Amino acid sequence: MIHALRIRNLAIVEEIEIEFAPGFNVLTGETGAGKSIIVGALGVLVGGRASSDLVRTGTDRAVVEATVDLPANGASVIRREIAERGRGRIFVDRASAAAADLKELGRRFVDIHGQHAHQALLDPRSHAGFLDAFGRLDELATDVRESFRTWRTACEERGEAERSAQEKQDRAELTRFQHEEIDRAAPEPGEDERLSAERNRLANAERLRQVCHEAYATLYDRDDAVVALLGRVWQNVAELARLDPARFESYAAARDAVDPVLDDLAAHLRSYGSAVEIAPDRLADVETRLAELERIKRKYGPDLDDVFARRAALAAELAATGDADSRRAVLDERVRIARGAYRAAARSLSAARVRHARTLGTRLVAELAELAMPHGRVEVRVETDLPESRWTELGTDAVELFLCANPGEALRPLANVASGGELARVMLALKTLASTDAPGKTLLFDEVDAGIGGAAAGRVGARLRDLGATFQVLCVTHAPQIAAAAGAHHRVSKTVRSGRTRTVVERLDRDERIREIARLMTGSASGAATASARELLDTHSAGGLESAR
């Protein structure tokens, strides 16, 4: 619902503020007074095109602002600035917004019906909603919408799995190659350290033999061998121990520990030296094996422990590849089940739509006859069992309204044959029979009275007044019968001040309404016209009271 609309420096409007009432509001005024500017301002506010040509001459920017009630949000202030040069700006509750955001918000709080405006009826996709509302198929439609979303979610999950399948396959091949490469190398824990020590021995075999021989000879074989000289030392120490036991007895006792060590060392030198093997072929094999281990460590290391950890991770990854195949099978089954549930829900909705389509067409024909389209023919066509590529959250069928407004013409899609006034009346009829809007939403009808008058205009006014019990209705009209049916009447006029044209909007009291309705009836406020206007207003007021009771 729109509480207040403020316009500044837009076309011939210098500055106006309109406070709209709940229920049915009308705007009347002479041609050129600025009614279309107000409609256009609302269009701009819900995301319509905002040309710099709209900026009032002599100013740098135009501003359109409204205080509205948004479902689930409460009161909000929407503001759009149109710059004479450069880009305009959009604000929602002082926060900057994009034009796309404005369009989305606009769909939530206002529907504009009439020439040069956003017309939901021109989009056949909206027609299913009217049929569902008429047939009270909300529960079936909700089941279809939810099952469609479940199916699409499952399809998207499966699609993601399929899109990554090649990448996973490539990854699996690389993983398998790396795992097999480590397996072919077959490293063992500590193998590199053991082979490094063996390489060092093989590379220095001659020197090891020589050093062992020299050390053994120094200990035993030479005339001045260490063991022989040490024997004389131990004799001297033993004598010193007899002479001064306190100072040398502990050293003499150490002989029992030192001699076995030297004997063991000599034996080890002799056996090790004789066992040292000079094996160039084995050295080459060790070098080759160490080179292989170094290559593996460079790729998967830096040390063998890291290589073993990497091998375990690769094995786990290969095992998970089988899990991915299982997941794809699960996703395929989920898609199959969700698709079946959607198809079942969509078939139920389709059958119900087909049942109600003929009735809605018949009721629309009767309603349009009341709205001065006596020769109108309407057919609500339901095309069922659409191919899967055309399935949507609305179901597996397409609903479209076909209209013939004049005798002898063929039924054609509504968007192709209806004029602005006819389209507004069709929308009015649909809103009366099958509204899809949330209570409190603003419905703006422009040119709904085009080509009608008399009793038909009165019936249009009554329909609009009835809609006002559920919605806020704004109607731009030249018909006194429609104006008299409103709960709030705003007159749009223009004046010239200081050489500039200005648009003015006034909320009329009862006496002012009578004069304005008289002007709409005869172009003047003569006594007879005023009396007729008063009678018309009283009639609608009485009808309103009767409806209220």
- Give domain status of residue 276, yes or no: yes
For residue 313 the two structure tokens come to 């991770």
**Total structural domains within the chain:** 1
160 vs 153: CA distance, rounded Å? 11
Token digits for 343?
């198809």
What DSSP designation does 387 have? -
Mean pLDDT of all residues in 302-325: 82
Residue 117 in this model has a pLDDT that exceeds 70: no
pLDDT of residue 72: 66
CA 290, CA 283: separation in Å to the nearest integer?
11
Q: What is the mean pLDDT of the chain?
A: 86
Distance CA(424)–CA(118), nearest Å, equals: 11
Q: Does 223 fall in a domain?
A: yes
- Look at residue 114 in the predicted model and tell me its pLDDT: 61
- When mean pLDDT is compared across 135-139, 247-251, 369-373, the lowest value belongs to 369-373
State yes or no: pLDDT of 118 exceeds 50.
no
**% pLDDT > 70, the chain:** 94
Q: Is residue 271 part of a domain?
A: yes
SS3 7: strand
Q: Which residue has the higher pLDDT, 454 or 148?
A: 148
Separation between Cα atoms, residue 483 and residue 458, nearest integer Å: 9
pLDDT band at 142 (very low <50, low <70, confident <90, very high): very high
Beta strands in 436-507 (DSSP E): 442-446, 472-476, 488-497, 500-507
Q: Would residue 216 count as lying in a domain?
A: yes
pLDDT of 420 strictly over 50: yes
Q: What is the mean pLDDT of residues 104-121?
A: 68
- Of 449 and 34, the one with more pLDDT: 34
181 occurs within a structural domain: yes
d(CA 149, CA 545): 47
**% of the chain at pLDDT higher than 90:** 34
pLDDT exceeds cutoff 60 at 547 = no
Alpha-carbon distance of 549 to 543, in angstroms, equals: 10
Q: What is the pLDDT of residues 263-280, one digit of tens each?
A: 899 889 888 888 888 888
pLDDT of residue 21: 93
Hey, what are 98's tokens? Answer: 């994009």
- Residue 205: name the closest of 291, 286, 293, 261 by CA: 286
Looking only at the bridges linking them, the beta strands covering 13-19 and 2-10 are antiparallel
Q: How far apart are CA 295 and CA 301, in angstroms?
A: 9
- Is 255 within the bounds of a domain? yes
Q: pTM for the full model? A: 0.59
Give domain status of residue 425, yes or no. Answer: no
Better-scored residue on pLDDT, 452 or 300:
300
CA distances (Å), 18 to each of 65, 303, 358, 471, 530, in order?
11, 81, 42, 18, 26
- Tens of pLDDT, residues 228-242: 888 889 999 899 889
Q: Are 226 and 262 in contact (CB under 8 A)?
A: yes
351's tokens: 């059958």
CA distance 284 to 222: 37
For residue 448, pLDDT beyond 80: no
| Cα dihedral 414, 419, 423, 429 sign | negative
Owning domain of residue 281: 169-321
Give a yes or no: residue 501 inside a domain.
Answer: no
The rounded distance, in Å, linking the Cα atoms of 373 and 424 is: 12
User: What integer pLDDT is reported at residue 474 of this predicted model?
Assistant: 93
